[in-house]
Amino acid sequence: MKQPIFCFDIDGTLLSTGGAGSRSMKRAVETLFQQKIDWKSVVMAGQLDPSIYRQILLKLDLPYKEKQWEEFLNLYLSFLEEEKQNLSSWIVFDGVLETLKILSQNKAKTILMTGNVKKGAWIKLYSCHLHAFFDWDHSIFGDDGKESRDDLAFAYLQKHKNFLPIVIGDTPHDIRVGELTGGMSIAVCTGMHSKEELSLHNPHYNLFSLKEFPWHEWPYLVS
């Protein structure tokens, strides 16, 4: 049996920043472009940061420019850093810390597979004291030159094809990544999707939170 590697999404799965990420993006857009857009029509859940940015450009009817993307990213990250002043509204979901401790104690390979750019992911996880549980060098982020969640699956296969991926996430996109990588999916409805909505996509496990998962009875941990 292949050795498992546990692949975690961040927002809606591990934690909530109380909207800090979306507020930071909105501030970055208004600062850089001096315009406002209809944010209700911008899809953020389950998306990669670069693909959210491209949606914004479409709303503004602007072409993609690498230098402008870098300027946007720097603004976004600086505003996200400012949001840390309101850490009382940042929440680590039930069962997350316990799960990560169990995986660490069992020396399980644990990475991030997230649409967040790497620096944004670091700000969120460091602020919530979760950063040390993950192998950052082998994680997969939204700024790895990808445009969709499917691309994260292909990036995974290039890096970790000899492992069995266990994808933990809160959206149908995460479940799809589990399918594309030939792995397993653990869905949690701590994000925007209900248990009923997630069940339509046939995850291997469908939980209200990671607190429900019987990790000690699971055969995929390294003892």
Residue 2: the pLDDT is 82
> Is the per-residue pLDDT at 39 higher than 90?
no
The whole model's pTM is what? 0.92
4-18, 156-170, 185-199: lowest mean pLDDT where? 156-170
Q: Can you tell me the distance from the alpha carbon of 87 to that of 124, in angstroms, rounded to the nearest whole number?
A: 10
Residue 132: the pLDDT is 98
pLDDT in tens, 82-116: 999 888 899 999 999 999 999 999 999 999 999 99
Question: How does residue 181 score in pLDDT terms, banded at 50, 70 and 90?
Answer: confident
Q: Which helix (H) or strand (E) holds 164?
A: strand 164-169
The whole-number average pLDDT for the span 165-170 is: 94
Residue 146: the pLDDT is 66
Phi, psi (rounded to 5 degrees) for 46: 75, 5
Confirm if 48 and 152 have CB atoms less than 8 A apart.
yes
Question: How does residue 18 score in pLDDT terms, banded at 50, 70 and 90?
Answer: very high
Question: How does residue 160 score in pLDDT terms, banded at 50, 70 and 90?
Answer: confident
Question: How does residue 180 score in pLDDT terms, banded at 50, 70 and 90?
Answer: confident
Short-list 135, 48, 95, CA closest to 215: 95
> Is the per-residue pLDDT at 217 higher than 60?
yes
What 3-state class would DSSP assign to 108?
A: coil
What 3-state class would DSSP assign to 67?
A: helix
pLDDT in tens, 126-148: 999 999 999 999 999 988 766 77
Q: Can you tell me the distance from the alpha carbon of 146 to that of 173, in angstroms, rounded to the nearest whole number?
A: 14
